[in-house]
Structure 1
Amino acid sequence: MSNPHPLQVERRGSGVPILCLHGHPGSGSAMAVFTEPLSTRYHTLAPDLRGYGQSQVQDPFEMADHIADLEALLDREGIEECLILGWSLGGILAMELALRNPQRYRGLILIGTAARPRGNYPPIPWWEYVNTGIAGLINGVKPGWQWNIDTFGTRSLFRRLLKQHTPTAYHYLAHAGTPAYLRTSRHAHRALNTALRQGYNRLADLPTLTMPCLMVAGADDINITAQSSQETAQTLPRCDWHCFPNTAHLFPWEVPNAMNETIHAWLRQQNL
């Protein structure tokens, strides 16, 4: 494990702090779908993880380095206690942080993630890669153009990330998804792929986490299946479960309003 790396952070709002952790590929900016509404009542911190966004490094690293970076970030910010919201890989990091120091975290909001992640990813034909490039280029110039969505988007790799091919979702792809992908380093790809080959399963450790948790998933997610997310929710001692129908891994960009209503309602119920 290397020394902690100073992370670029987007800060919004004031109040109880919420550490918002992006997935792979991702960035702090890509978490705006969460941080913008949350910052009306909370102090959100959305870092670019090591090797992502503006937190670039020259040397290879391991997944464990993310944990050291994030703990060092909270120490520098003077945050002794906070909530964590994690999407996909960010949710795995949220659980790892909580397992290391449960007293520090008042609650976990876990989005499209799992302690024993399983996918259901079919083989990719060559033409999906071609259509993805075309769809992405056109969407970057004219975000949310329905002709591009219908002609190329629904026949591209985007169909493996989205179930609802709406202009709203494609605007998020243009303004947050594509920039995050382009700023994800080879070191970040390598670190995640190495961890995946080694396997990951923390289910047996989850009963030690007694803070309130919310698990939210997309019913048609093939990257981290809703079944594996629900398995995690059932293993956590105090976890509420919500699954959005007709959505996939990028469901926060498919149903942003419904998702944020679910999160805010849960926070109110927990008096957090």
Structure 2
Amino acid sequence: MPDISLHVDIQGQGFPLLGLHGHPGFGRNLSVFADHLSTRFQIFAPDLRGYGRSRCQGKFTMQDHLDDLEALLDRFQIEKCLVLGWSLGGILAMELALRLPQRISGLILIATAARPWGNHPPITWQDNLYTGIAGLINYVKPGWQWNIDTFAKRSLFRYLIQQHTPTAYNYIAQTAVPAYLQTSAAATNALYTAIKAGYNRIPDIWQIVCPCLVLAGAEDRHITAASSLETAQNLKYSQWYCYPHTAHLFPWEISQQVLADIDAWLENHPQVSQF
């Protein structure tokens, strides 16, 4: 399938940083990073194929995402960039580093793994009911503590976050719900097809020679901290942090800590932002 011209949000000035969102998602999910890092980077945050405003016709595969992203780099004449990927975005970031090693200066990998596995409990009808109620109320009145205590903590949100703060629920209302509604069935099918096929790049990621920062939430049920650690241990040049009492959406739970750790890593690895 031919690559498509992805919708992309561009913010800031400086060395290029490609931000890749997860599933379900779109580029605006990365605002927690982009708003902070745009003071030193030019952030390119595309909606991946089948997500957000990057609409497409028919089925596609994970390989098509990589073709689209390479076309995006060519379109904006980006010869070299740092890549930040969250969840699915982190998987694509590693794939890009394997495919285009000369164009990727470094990787910031958020809640992701080269051989992802989860330990999510079975989902009940009560989970879905409370999630629907909590999500709707939170969308109308973001961060309302009564809703958090009454419905959200009993919903599937309890597996996505551990620190049920109004800030985290504001992010969920502003970007997670719209992203979910704009994720196509084709995008879901492409991801689940790859997972069912036993996606595993652990044997290959030793070939990635750029510096990598790997961040995980200790209570992540979607992509476990153990699978993120396995990835960090098999990357040649990686630094790994695991944040206690957080889950898959930990950048929205403890944003200041995460951003401070990214800043420190960038200071210690100036080569990842040099033209």
- Amino acid in the other structure paired with 1:164: Q
- Structure 1 CA distance for aligned equivalents of residues 133 and 226 of structure 2: 33
The answer as to 2:215 corresponding to 1:216 is yes
Percent of aligned positions with the same letter in both sequences? 60
Q: 1:97-140 CA deviation, whole Å, 9 max, x = no partner?
A: 11011111110000000001010011112101000010011001
Match of 1:134 in 2: 133
Counterpart Cα distance in 1 of 2:84 and 2:249? 15
Q: Distance in 1 between matches of 2:55 and 2:163?
A: 33
Aligned residue in 2 for 1:92: 91
Question: What CA distance in whole angstroms lies between the structure 1 residues aligned with 2:58 and 2:258?
Answer: 37
Aligned counterpart, 1:156: 155
Asked if 1:264 corresponds to 2:260, the answer is no
Gaps of 5+ in 1: none
Q: How far apart are 1:58 and its partner, in Å?
A: 1.7
Q: CA RMSD in A?
A: 0.6
Q: Which residue of 2 aligns with 1:72?
A: 71
What residue in structure 2 maps to residue 30 of structure 1? Answer: 29
Report the Cα distance in structure 1 between the residues aligned to 2:52 and 2:78, rounded to whole angstroms.
23
Give the corresponding residue for 2:145.
146
The 5-angstrom pairing of residues 1-272 of structure 1 reads 2-271=1-270, 272=273
CA-to-partner distance for each residue in 1:55-108, whole Å, 9 max, x for gaps? 011211111100000000000000000000000000000000110111111100
Letter in 1 for 2:18: L
How much has 1:240 moved relative to structure 2? 0.4
CA distance in 1, matches of 2:110, 2:87: 6
**1-side partners of 2:229 and 2:182: how far apart?**
31
Distance 1:22 1:91 in 2: 8
CA distance in 2, matches of 1:241, 1:175: 29
What amino acid maps onto 2:101 in structure 1?
P
Tell me the CA shift for residue 160 of structure 1. Answer: 1.1
In structure 2, C-alpha distance between the alignment counterparts of 1:54 and 1:73, rounded to whole Å = 15
Q: What is the CA–CA distance in structure 2 between the aligned matches of 1:193 and 1:270, rounded to whole Å?
A: 35
CA drift of 1:193 comes to: 1.1
Partners in 1 of 2:165 and 2:97 — Cα distance?
35
Q: Give the whole-Å Cα distance in 2 for the aligned partners of 1:211 and 1:203.
A: 16
**Which stretches of structure 1, 4 residues or longer, exceed 4 Å deviation after superposition?**
none
Q: CA separation in 2, counterparts of 1:134 and 1:122?
A: 20
Write the distance in 2 (CA, Å) between the matches of 1:178 and 1:262.
27
- Residue type at the aligned position of 1:180: A
CA deviation map 1:180-239 (0-9, x unaligned): 000000111111111111011101111111110000000000100000001100110100
User: Within 2, Cα distance between the matches of 1:129 and 1:14?
Assistant: 42
What is the TM-score when the length of structure 1 is the normalising length? 0.99
Question: Any gaps of 5 or more consecutive residues in structure 2?
Answer: none
